[in-house]
Amino acid sequence: MTTSWRAGVCIIQYVFVPPPPQSSENTLFGMGNPLLDISAVVDKDFLDKFGLKLNDQILAEDKHKALFEEIVKRNKVEYHAGGSTQNSVKIAQWMIQKPQKVATFFGCIGADQFGEILKEKAAEAHVDAHYYEQNVEPTGTCAACITGDNRFMGSVSAGPFVANLAAANCYKKEQHLDLDSNWELVKKAKVYYIAGFFLTVSPESIMKVAKHASDNNKIFCMNLSAPFISQFFKEPLMEVMPYVDILFGNETEAATFAKELGFETDDIAEIANKTQNLPKENTKRQRVVVFTQGKEDTVATVGDEVTMFPVLDIDQNDIVDTNGAGDAFVGGFLSALVQEQALEECIRAGHYAANVIIRRVGCTFPERPDFH
């Protein structure tokens, strides 16, 4: 609304601000390592039996294999569709609400009971999951062991996390991504998101999707995901980097990335700027770099400038589990991105989603978002 005066008469003009564009089915495409998240309350004896400590986040070894069978026999077992990329697209769908199946997800599972539960849970989250199913490895799982010892101020914290990637490591481009019916779903999307973790599984699949996005001036997003990706999978990471339109990461991942590339700075704004200026294939889109820093400001490149965006305040006593915060931030960001919102709005949506998720155990959320 604008107000002006002419000849002593007040003239009020109403400016119509159109609502954001409606998303349609399969607008957002994600590909990664699908895991069935299994959470259950356990006691100290259970942790001791499997050699676990309260804050462990580990990959399953042989001694942990029986853990997954045993934990499902516990009381109050909860299942959720998990894995980094699947978490993010699931949260994007939750933020958008309608229509359903805005997000497509590809990944590999086993032809087993856990795989069937994972399919059910993805469907309940209204994600259009198309899994490659194989018989060699079982469905990947992540056990969240919730312990009574970890109660604080009336809330419950998840204890150790034990992930068994199993089938998630078995994705095959030729057997799944290259199939005409699946590639049609890829082509339908306008925004693509793949976490860096998938570089350890199928870099050739990432390259095919990234090149498609670049050739068609669509938006390809990626995440640094963990320091070990930059350290030990630098070659495939840098092969895909010219196709990355939006790069996510946290402050630790950004510092490791900078060190591996010889940026010779530990200033996060400078790292963001240098990362933005790395070679890029599609010059129609300037690369955007977004680095989160926990409770500190989020750092993002806006045009040629680096800008700081404050996160939402939260009482430290309300924080239950920060493990899903990064995935949630990306999910919120993507929900605004597919609705063609400005970068500032995407970051605001990301901050909101992360703020909701850290108040709960695992990457879970209430029925509806309260985001305006």
Residue by residue, pLDDT tens for the chain (372 residues) are 555 565 555 555 554 444 555 678 999 999 999 999 998 888 889 999 999 887 777 888 888 888 988 888 876 788 999 999 999 999 999 999 999 999 999 999 999 999 999 999 999 999 999 999 999 999 999 988 877 544 333 334 456 788 899 999 999 999 999 999 999 999 999 999 999 999 999 999 999 999 999 999 999 999 999 999 999 999 999 999 999 999 999 999 999 999 999 999 999 999 999 999 999 999 999 999 999 998 899 999 988 999 999 998 888 877 777 778 899 999 999 999 999 999 999 999 999 999 998 877 777 776 788 887
Neighbours of 353 (CB within 10 A): 30
Cβ neighbours for 326, distance < 8 A, ≥ 6 positions apart: 84, 223, 248, 250, 292, 354
Terminal alpha carbon distance of the chain: 20
Give me the helix-helix angle, 84-96 and 325-337, nearest 10°: 50
pLDDT of 158 reads 53
pLDDT of 154 reads 33
Write down the catalytic residue from 128, 245, 321, 327. Answer: 327
pLDDT of 8 reads 56
As beta bridge partners, residue 110 has 134
pTM of the model: 0.89
- 56 as an active site residue: the answer is no
pLDDT of 3 reads 56
Tokens standing for residue 211:
């090149």
